[in-house]
Structure formats: C-alpha cells, structure tokens
Amino acid sequence: MTDEVNIHTHGCTGHISLNRPKALHALTLDMCHAMSAALSGWADEDEIEAVILDHAEGRGFCAGGDINLLRHSALNDGGKSGREFFHDEYQLNHQMMTYEKPIVAFMDGITMGGGVGIALPCKYRVATENTRFAMPETGIGLFPDVGGGWHLSRLGGRLGQFLALTGARLDGAECHFAGIATHYIPAEKLAEAKARITEHPGRIAGILSELSVTPPEPRIEANCERINRHFASNRYEDILASLEADDSDWAAKELATLRTKSPQTCKVALRQLAESEKLSSFADNMRMEYRIASRVLTRPDFAEGVRAVIVDKTNDPHWDPATPEGVSEDLLESIFAPLPANEEWKPLR
C-alpha cells in the first residue's frame, strides 16, 4: 500500500481519497495498485454498499498519470516500465467501469488525463464550480487514453473529437451540460453530501439530487454548432481545412491551438474515437488503447512533447512527422496493429 492514497471504510461505505497534493494527485503505479486492491476487497464484502472517490486536499481532483515515469521509460528502458504502468492503470479503469457497487466521484478541481480515467467509469460523477476537465494529451504527443476513446466518442455531436484534438478545458457547468458529470453541487455542500452518503449509501441518487443546484450557463453550448460543423470529419486534414475556410475569431483560435499539437497523435485520436464508437465492450476498447499506448510511448513525439511542455516549458515541440500529411496510413496501421498474443492487455482477474 502507499500513503499517496487514503483508504478507509465508514460503516457500509468504502472511501478512496487521493493524497498526493504536490503533484495534484497525479496517479502513480502504487496508487493504481492500492485503489485496485481496495476495490477488489470491497467487492467481496457484503456490508460495503458503495464507494466514495475524492481527493484529500489541494487543487485536485487528479491531474493525470505519472508523466515523468513515462518519459523516463521512453528514453531509458525502451518503454518497458511505461507499458507496465499503462497495463495496470487500464486494469483499474476497467475494474471501475465494471464494478457492481456504485462509486461516487467528486471531481472537485482539476480532472485531467488519468483523473478522467478514474472519474468517468463511476456511476455518479459530481462537478463543482472548481471542476476543470480536460484531455490535453495531444499537446505532449500522447493520446486521450484511460478509456478516453470510449467516453469521448459517446458525447453528443462532435464534442468528444473537439476535446480530444484541442485539449480544451471544461468547467463544472460545461461538464454537466455535456453529460460528463451527472450532478452539479456547490463545493461547500460536498462535505454534507459525503456524510449523508456514508450514513445512507442506498440513497445516493436522492442525496445528490437534493443537494444539486442549477449550474451556470455552459459556455460551450454556444459553440456546439461550430464544433459539430468544423470537427465533423474523421480526417484531420478536413478539420484543418474547414477551420481555415472560416474567418471568425473562434475558428482562428482553434486552428492556432491545433497547430501546436502533435499531428501524429491528433490523427491517432480521431481514429481511436472512430474505432471506439463501434465497440460494444469496454475491455475491447482498453485492449485497443493499450496497443496504441505501447507504440506511441516510444515514438519521438512523446518524449519531445513532455520535454517542451512539462520539463523545459519552452512550448516549442519539434514534432516528427512535422505535418499531418507526413503521418501516413502505414504509420497509423502500425500503431493500431495487434500485439503478440502474450503481450496483449488483459482485464484484472
């Protein structure tokens, strides 16, 4: 176990509280293992009826995964430890997605990357005025993994594709509008919500509804028509051309944002969401995303993106390939191709 996750039971409720505030509760492999072990134990305990997932302190909820470990792996061990991290993190995502007891995620704060991967599988997902949701992976040469293909492809219209490519941030009201959050509750009411759920775990839906308020007007709603029109294609070049043909300030802003992203991983993300939308099993989605992650991890863009955005903070990544046209279908096929049978991702037993 690790002190980076606080794990308790309160009566008939399990409680997992992320506790790595200096890193905005970004997930380590030990944290994933601790969470998974707790959930496995509670699954077999009849007295545990529900699980609360939150963060202990700071600006949580969870800013992602252990990017430094992944970059070190890409540069120093051929991706071995990075693949181990992805494999077990994805097992946790799948375990939560298929968990038979209700989990309530309190997304009170930054909810990005790996944080999305543990929040969106939960039956109840509470946003607040502090929520900041994003999948910003294309900016560091990664892709919206941890089940992102499944979740984003099932949002209304082309919002998922927009979020996957641009890394745009949504606030709590926008998360509620998009269906990413099931409830919107003021942060000052969360302690009451948790206390009442702990006391009455069979009344989660009613408790959350009673404490919910009408969220502010979601800003993203005004842009949905533009998003659906410009991001309609699964071909990245078509999206860029559509934005280029629009002389509005909004289109210029989004086009400028896309120009900073990895062309390779933007194309990967579009194909990922298109494939995910056709799948009927979350396990099949995670198997596909593990294949992608295994390849993208050791491609040039990931280490370079992390260097430019997170390590050196120069924001001048040199992508390879440098243009969307340089990302060939053969390259995409190699990234999505099955792994050898003994290397494929498998759900937790």
pLDDT of 68 = 86
The answer to whether residue 74 is domain-embedded is yes
92: left (phi over 0), alpha (psi -120 to 50) or beta: alpha
Would you mind telling me the total number of residues written for the chain in this entry?
A: 349
Catalytic residue of the set 60, 65, 79, 167: 65
Start-to-end CA span in the chain (Å): 19
pLDDT of 1 = 63
pLDDT tens-digit profile, the chain (349 residues): 679 999 999 999 999 999 999 999 999 999 999 999 999 999 999 999 999 999 998 788 999 998 888 999 999 999 999 999 999 999 999 999 999 999 999 999 999 999 999 999 999 999 999 999 999 999 999 999 999 999 999 999 999 999 999 999 999 999 999 999 999 999 999 999 999 999 999 999 999 999 999 999 999 999 999 999 999 999 999 999 999 999 999 999 999 999 999 999 999 999 999 999 999 999 999 999 999 999 999 999 999 999 999 999 999 999 999 999 999 999 999 999 999 999 999 999 8
The answer to whether residue 296 is domain-embedded is yes
Catalytic residue of the set 89, 145, 301, 304: 145
254 CB burial (10 A radius; 0-12, 13-18, 19+): buried
Is 78 an active-site residue? Answer: no
Residue 161 structure tokens:
């594709």
Beta strands 170-171 and 132-134 are antiparallel
- Provide the 8-state DSSP code for 309: I
The answer to whether residue 130 is domain-embedded is yes
Is 330 an active-site residue? Answer: no
The answer to whether residue 318 is domain-embedded is yes
Token match 């043909």: residue? 245
The answer to whether residue 210 is domain-embedded is yes
94: left (phi over 0), alpha (psi -120 to 50) or beta: alpha
Based on the structure, what is the number of domains in the chain? 1
Q: Where residue 135 sits, what CATH number does that domain have?
A: 3.90.226.10
Is 114 an active-site residue? Answer: yes
Is 210 an active-site residue? Answer: no
What domain range includes position 299?
A: 5-343
The answer to whether 25 and 75 have CB atoms below 8 angstroms apart is no
The answer to whether residue 328 is domain-embedded is yes
Order the strands of the 103-107 sheet from edge to edge: 5-10, 13-18, 50-55, 103-107, 124-127, 183-184
Catalytic residue of the set 14, 64, 113, 114: 114
Q: Of 86, 119, 136, 70, which Cα lies nearest the Cα of 289?
A: 86
The answer to whether residue 349 is domain-embedded is no
Catalytic residue of the set 4, 137, 275, 301: 137
Q: Of 238, 228, 276, 293, which Cα lies nearest the Cα of 80?
A: 293
Q: How far apart are CA 306 and CA 282, in angstroms?
A: 28
The answer to whether residue 132 is domain-embedded is yes
